[in-house]
Structure 1
Amino acid sequence: MAEAACPEQEPEVLRLKRLRGGGFFPVPPGDRLGRCRSVKEFEKLNRIGEGTYGIVYRARDTQTDEIVALKKVRMDKEKDGIPISSLREITLLLKLRHPNIVELKEVVVGNHLESIFLVMGYCEQDLASLLENMQTPFSEAQVKCIILQVLKGLQYLHENFIIHRDLKVSNLLMTDKGCVKIADFGLARAHGVPLKPMTPKVVTLWYRAPELLLGTTTQTTGIDMWAVGCILAELLAHKPLLPGSSEIHQIDLIVQLLGTPNENIWPGFSKLPLVSQYTLRKQPYNNLKHKFPWLSEAGLRLLNFLFMYDPKKSSYFKEKPLPCEPELMPTFPHHRNKRAAPASAGAEGQGKRGKP
């Protein structure tokens, strides 16, 4: 059933400040949208998610009949225009074109300055909703299919000097044809040489790399690879790998799983800003093999590489069961289309599987 559209009021008089001579000048109604289409050209069908940066609707483009995802930019606390997170997301996504990256088709506007929408390619599923609603867990072949696509998308991002910085299952979308796409670029950043300082308060806690937890300000592609390791382990185990309740708890879970870090295995560890604030338990063993006793040596090697700072290639994807093809992935009921609660996890929601 289509969601009732809010009646649009008549646009207020839009005036811009003159750069010279002082005063203001009115913008004619025909010019106020610039080159952007109006959101009135889209029929909102239902809400599919609400996250940190905006509400997401499933909608129909009335000009082409195409089903799209319509993401309303959240402007609640903004007094000076579009939020910087949305500007970054728009700027990055307009440059990115890859089968495993969500597509930003265009930006459309409503009658008011604060009414801005991103028109995205529509995906029927997000992995968080799937994992919570699936009757049967993904097979290992299907897990390989998913992670291989995530790694291809990440390879494209990293080759273009972009770090996603918020990878988690709820930010991975999947079409009914089995194509997995990385979404939600509100925290993504371009990086280069030399590395510039960035805030460590990124990446949902359960997927946050230890260097972030220990206060590093120079971030590399390694933080994305750590998050992929957490996602791979979650898909294999059918539950989150490191569900910490706080940053201290998160670090302790990592130490329990992988052993206590030191300068020998992690050069520069002792100089990280927050190391002196923690008393880490003495745990000399890597327990991944005990956590996944049924996983092959190649699979364990891949997990270990993902939980390092320089992940290397692995043979895991070349042994049986081989990754299935995307078109052979199963289809599922469209749980997202049934969700009406404003706080429900959607394309960028934070449900049971992650904490900010």
Structure 2
Amino acid sequence: MEEQSYSPVECIDNDNLEKTNTPEAQLTETPKAKTKKSKWESESDNESNESESERRNSKKRRKKIHDSEIDEHSQPETSESTRRLKVPNEDSFNQSPSTRSISPIAEPINDMNISSTPSPAPESTTQSFVERIIKSAPAPLPPMLAGCRSVDNYEKLNRIEEGAYGVVFRARDKATGEVVALKKLKLDKEKNGFPITSLREVHTLLLAKHPNIVNVREIVVGETLTQIFIVMDFIEHDLKSLMEDMQVPFLQSEVKTIMLQLLSAVAMLHDNWIIHRDLKTSNLLLNNRGQIKVADFGLARKYGSPLGPMTELVVTLWYRAPELLLGTKKYSTAVDMWSVGCIFGELVNKEPLLPGRTEIDQLTKIFKLLGMPNEKIWPGFSKLPHAKNIPFIKQSHNTLRSRFPYLTENGFDLIAKLLTYDPSKRITAEEALKHPYFSESPLPKDPEMFPTWPSKGGGERRKSYTSPSAPNVAHGVEKLDEEDQTLLGSIFENQGGNDYGFRLKI
């Protein structure tokens, strides 16, 4: 008699359908479901109570079913894939969904596991809300090698501002019509090739991809080698100009949202061994959807461990850490956290926290705010290069609390940790993100609920409404007849031939 062969799918359709209702098949469902559960969960309590004898009995029953199937189909040699499909053991759960849907035994096992698996505990409302504000950075894309396009592909609309390392323009992509920001690097006076600051900025912006860091689209060039532009997303506002036009400071809920986004971006930079070295409100951009974007990486650079010597002439004066003012050559991410503390104070009070005119004046303002440092609170302070040349301020107490009378205790604790003298004790960005200040009431506001303002960079202007003048009809009362005098103060006033005041149209 000719031997009949079966495909794996035919074996499932014919055999397993018959074995579904058999007692042996039903007995095998329970241990198989447990086997799958133990594979994905960590040390279940039910699995720990199963005895060794039950495991051996279950294994014997599976082997018995397997041997009977081989005899029934008269197949002396069965492939490994066929055995896995016939016997719903642990390996059957690793197959594709299309394969599992064919098996009538795998389906009830899956249903039983889904119902027996405990539902995950719901996360706290505060944590989920903060995570919605702080968005994780996307996975980095592989680098692409391509030639730079010409700046002629963009139409210049207007000039936005000029900084120390470039001029920013608003432009429109001629192909797509999208409005972008073009930053022209200042290379006219360079005699030693491409400047290292511009090279670091381009490299850092292309490397640091984060929802709260300005996105760089491409690099375009002009007709000469000195015309190099960085094409970035256009953002409507910068915080410094925006706060100057605001009548009142940001709400506490809005301050928390801004700080969470800023700390998230700074934490990402520090995790990738990058120091910004110029964090300030004018370098923080805010769009009309309540999203903060860190910009201007002209002074950013990578650092390593152990720390090597770096220049201390970094960071705008108002946001410069005291160790930089005192001439240290070795510093790390703590200088960025001091700048974050100054930004925090500026957001709360709507004015710069330490607006010094010179380095000495800046140190004096710091000492008057936080007290004179010493070796006890700042080990190594006296060994800094400029520590002996600064004037001694006879003030040992801290006046930080008087500058923020309406800040909560947790908020004051956060700004105090950000403005700590000792860099090694200064709070990090990762630690600041977990501070209880962001989980207390009022909770951070959803960025989508932020108000919108007219964009200066976009050429928008605030609408002004001219208030009407007061009516002067009283000056001509004696000239009115008796009928017109009876209409004074009503909506029918001045509807006659004489016009002694403003006319109300009906």
The two structures have a TM-score, normalised by structure 2, of: 0.59
- Please give the alpha-carbon distance, in whole angstroms, between the structure 1 residues aligned to 2:408 and 2:219: 46
Q: Quick check: 1:129–1:336 contact (8 Å CA) kept in 2? A: no
What letter corresponds to residue 162 of structure 1 in structure 2? I
The 10-residue stretch of structure 1 (59-68 or 178-187) with the greater mean CA deviation from structure 2: 59-68
Q: Quick check: 2:371–2:395 contact (8 Å CA) kept in 1? A: yes
Aligned with 1:77: secondary structure?
coil
Mapped pair 1:315 → 2:427 = no
Q: Quick check: 1:127–1:172 contact (8 Å CA) kept in 2? A: yes
What's the counterpart of residue 335 of structure 1? 456
- Please give the alpha-carbon distance, in whole angstroms, between the structure 1 residues aligned to 2:345 and 2:407: 10
What's the counterpart of residue 243 of structure 2? 131
Q: Quick check: 1:255–1:280 contact (8 Å CA) kept in 2? A: no
Shift of 1:338: 3.3
How far does the alpha carbon of each residue in 1:287-317 deviate from its partner, in whole angstroms, 9 at most, with x for none? 1111111111100000011012320442111
Shift of 1:194: 0.8
Mapped pair 1:248 → 2:369 = no
- Please give the alpha-carbon distance, in whole angstroms, between the structure 2 residues aligned to 1:76 and 1:114: 6
Shift of 1:83: 2.0
* Higher percent of residues as helix: 2
Shift of 1:267: 1.1
Mapped pair 1:159 → 2:280 = no
- Please give the alpha-carbon distance, in whole angstroms, between the structure 1 residues aligned to 2:342 and 2:411: 13
What's the counterpart of residue 5 of structure 1? none
What letter corresponds to residue 185 of structure 1 in structure 2? F
- Please give the alpha-carbon distance, in whole angstroms, between the structure 2 residues aligned to 1:103 and 1:321: 31
- Please give the alpha-carbon distance, in whole angstroms, between the structure 2 residues aligned to 1:247 and 1:79: 30
Shift of 1:252: 0.8
- Give the alignment of 1:137-148 within 5 angstroms: 137-148=249-260
Aligned with 1:44: secondary structure?
strand
Shift of 1:260: 0.9
Of the two structures, which has the highest relative contact order with CA contacts closer than 8 Å and spacing of 6 or more?
A: 1
Q: Quick check: 2:166–2:185 contact (8 Å CA) kept in 1? A: yes
- Please give the alpha-carbon distance, in whole angstroms, between the structure 2 residues aligned to 1:44 and 1:136: 34
Aligned with 2:192: secondary structure?
coil
Shift of 1:81: 2.9
How far does the alpha carbon of each residue in 1:235-257 deviate from its partner, in whole angstroms, 9 at most, with x for none? 10110010111111111111111
What's the counterpart of residue 311 of structure 2? 199
Shift of 1:215: 0.4
Instruction: Choose which of 304, 309, 313 in structure 1 pairs with 2:416.
Output: 304
Shift of 1:285: 1.0
- Give the alignment of 1:19-168 within 5 angstroms: 35-168=147-280
What's the counterpart of residue 294 of structure 2? 182
**Greater radius of gyration (CA):** 2
Aligned with 2:254: secondary structure?
helix
What's the counterpart of residue 258 of structure 1? 370
Q: Quick check: 1:214–1:272 contact (8 Å CA) kept in 2? A: yes
Shift of 1:105: 1.1
- Please give the alpha-carbon distance, in whole angstroms, between the structure 2 residues aligned to 1:217 and 1:63: 48
Aligned with 1:225: secondary structure?
helix
Identity %: 55
- Please give the alpha-carbon distance, in whole angstroms, between the structure 1 residues aligned to 2:226 and 2:322: 38
Q: Quick check: 2:170–2:457 contact (8 Å CA) kept in 1? A: no
Aligned with 1:335: secondary structure?
coil
What letter corresponds to residue 103 of structure 1 in structure 2? N
How far does the alpha carbon of each residue in 1:135-184 deviate from its partner, in whole angstroms, 9 at most, with x for none? 33211111111111100000000000101000110000011111101100
Q: Quick check: 2:150–2:221 contact (8 Å CA) kept in 1? A: yes
Shift of 1:219: 1.4
What's the counterpart of residue 238 of structure 1? 350
Instruction: Choose which of 222, 227, 237 in structure 1 pairs with 2:339.
Output: 227
How far does the alpha carbon of each residue in 1:176-232 deviate from its partner, in whole angstroms, 9 at most, with x for none? 111101100010110110101111111110000000000011111111000010011
What letter corresponds to residue 210 of structure 1 in structure 2? P
Aligned with 1:336: secondary structure?
coil
The 10-residue stretch of structure 1 (267-276 or 308-317) with the greater mean CA deviation from structure 2: 308-317
Q: Quick check: 1:81–1:114 contact (8 Å CA) kept in 2? A: no
Q: Quick check: 1:47–1:337 contact (8 Å CA) kept in 2? A: no
Aligned with 1:71: secondary structure?
strand
- Give the alignment of 1:10-21 within 5 angstroms: none
Q: How many residues align?
A: 306
The 10-residue stretch of structure 1 (155-164 or 284-293) with the greater mean CA deviation from structure 2: 284-293
Q: Quick check: 1:67–1:122 contact (8 Å CA) kept in 2? A: yes
Segments of 4+ moved more than 3 angstroms: none
- Please give the alpha-carbon distance, in whole angstroms, between the structure 1 residues aligned to 2:222 and 2:443: 48
What letter corresponds to residue 261 of structure 1 in structure 2? P
* Higher percent of residues as strand: 1
- Please give the alpha-carbon distance, in whole angstroms, between the structure 2 residues aligned to 1:135 and 1:287: 27
Mapped pair 1:295 → 2:407 = yes
The two structures have a TM-score, normalised by structure 1, of: 0.84
- Please give the alpha-carbon distance, in whole angstroms, between the structure 2 residues aligned to 1:204 and 1:156: 22
Unaligned runs of 5+ in 1: 1-33, 340-356
Shift of 1:82: 2.4
The alignment yields a C-alpha RMSD, in angstroms, of 1.2
What's the counterpart of residue 393 of structure 2? 281
Shift of 1:127: 0.6
What's the counterpart of residue 345 of structure 1? none
- Please give the alpha-carbon distance, in whole angstroms, between the structure 1 residues aligned to 2:260 and 2:452: 18
Aligned with 1:337: secondary structure?
coil
How far does the alpha carbon of each residue in 1:29-73 deviate from its partner, in whole angstroms, 9 at most, with x for none? xxxxx7011100001111111101111011111122221110111
